[in-house]
Amino acid sequence: MEVLELKNLWEQIKGRLTAELPANAQPWIYPLEVTGYDKGVLTVVTGQLMGRDILRRNHYNQIVEIIKKVTQNPDSDFVIIYDESMAKTIKKENEKIQKKIETAELKEKAMENLSYMPSSNLNLKYKFENFVVGESNEFAYKVAKAVAENPAKKYNPLFIYGNAGLGKTHLMQAIGHYTLFKNSDIKVKYTKTEDYVNDFISNSRNSKDTIENMSKFNRKYTNIDIILIDDIQFIESKKKTMSQMQHTFDSLYNKGKQIVITSDRLPKDIPTLTSALCSRFEMGLMVELTPPDLQTRFNIVKKLANDNDLKYSDDAIEYIAKNFENNVRELEGAFNKVSAYAEVTGQSLTLDLAKNILKCDDNKDEISFSKIVEVTANYFKISANDIMGTARSQKTSTARHVAIYLARELSGNSFVNIAEFFEKKHTTIMFAHDKIEKEIKVNNDLSSAIREIKQALKVI
């Protein structure tokens, strides 16, 4: 068993020992150090002879029961060794590992803070140099680069859209970095749509300072050269917010400033957007980011490994790339998990290690859309044909919406693909998905229905 795994296991067992053994056993638990776990046998060492004897004589059975419960291995056993110097050495080693983990966490935090540049809001990681180009994103990359070379001259506004985790924020911020690098006097502002909206709401609130606040707000968002507005699908439908956004857009556009917007869907598919804003967003160029192919995913993970100075084998990289297909954020997450483990335990990134940590099913059966339809129909006691049909009784509609929602959530496929399968317009698919997404937050029957269907699909 690997060091970290052992550490986790021991922490769980120790937690239970502390909770379940009687008070007179407690002083002897704390000094225990774990040394191994093999074929159900947990071995610990202590520097206290009396501790060993008390735990062994009086609590052995109870300890074994706890190990059984935690490891779910009915053949569990417990060995306690008394060895003062060994206990000391192992304690030191464990402390070292703990420190390494803490340092790694601290380093990550420090990086986050460092990379935060208050005036522009840009994250240092999101540069063109760190963006791996492949078929799925080449066009978007080239267009973004062209915009960065010539702000407001080429494509204005630039509208980048695509599913979550495909690099929209990254590419958008890369434009900011690039222009700032070429000319540090350029004023770049990155803002999440949500922050913009909240900022507007708090500044436009009626008070004796409203006028002053609003003029400050307007300066903040229009006295700049490049605005990067992220995730515009989160704009709220309030009239005032819309007309403010339109005002910001127009004043920048009319002054010849560059506007870059991202969204998880096309402007016309954002139901809250006014037609005036929609047509403004469609005025320039709209580019889509699609999920990267295997080669690109491979290159992304390889780059991460190189950037982290990690020793790796190509088959390990390939394993990660193969198993995380639809979302680069998840792909990175998987890599981070494995690399943290490799780093802390001083190993290189091998196929075995990746398999061990990620435990992806090798012949993972992709859940097919038809399986989702079948199981959902079953749950609602209707037929798969009903779901695929057009009948609109409440039960059938709900079942259909749920199937569409699950198709999206479980496959990460694009709305367009899902629409093709269900033979519906992709706007209908989006509507159904969004409806269920909202409703499960407030409707317990619906959320437990979805949980049960997922269980039947064996995804939870």
Which residues are at the interface with ligand ADP (CB under 6 A)? 125-126, 130-132, 137, 164-170, 300, 328-329, 332
Nearer to ligand ADP, 66 or 132 (CB): 132
Please state, in angstroms and rounded to a whole number, the distance separating the CA atoms of residues 366 and 94: 41
Distance in Å, CB of 169 to ligand ADP, minimum: 3
Nearest to 257 by CA among 227, 281, 216, 219: 227
Residue nearest to ligand ADP (CB): 167
| Angle, CA of 185, 188 and 193, to the nearest 5° | 170
Query: Cα–Cα distances in Å, from 18 out to 3, 29, 380, 424?
Result: 22, 7, 46, 58
Nearer to Mg ion, 169 or 258 (CB): 169
Site string for Mg ion, 149-178 (x = CB under 5 A): -------------------xx---------
Please state, in angstroms and rounded to a whole number, the distance separating the CA atoms of residues 79 and 31: 15
Q: Which does 123 bind (CB under 5 to 8 A by kind): ligand ADP, Mg ion, none?
A: none
- Residue 348, sorted as left (phi over 0), alpha (psi -120 to 50) or beta, turns out to be beta
Phi then psi for 362, rounded to 5 degrees?
Answer: -60, -45
Distance in Å, CB of 167 to ligand ADP, minimum: 3
Residues 6+ apart with CB under 8 A from 328: 165, 166, 167, 292, 297, 300
Nearer to ligand ADP, 282 or 332 (CB): 332
Cβ contact 335:346 at 8 Å: no
Q: Which does 166 bind (CB under 5 to 8 A by kind): ligand ADP, Mg ion, none?
A: ligand ADP
Distance in Å, CB of 264 to Mg ion, minimum: 9
Distance in Å, CB of 277 to Mg ion, minimum: 20
Nearer to Mg ion, 44 or 266 (CB): 266
Nearer to ligand ADP, 60 or 116 (CB): 116
Nearer to ligand ADP, 228 or 399 (CB): 228
Cβ contact 276:246 at 8 Å: yes
Which H or E run contains 285? strand 285-288
- Is 263 a binding residue for Mg ion by CB under 5 A? The answer is no
Distance in Å, CB of 414 to ligand ADP, minimum: 13
Distance in Å, CB of 24 to Mg ion, minimum: 56
Q: Residue numbers of the site for Mg ion (CB under 5 A)?
A: 168-169
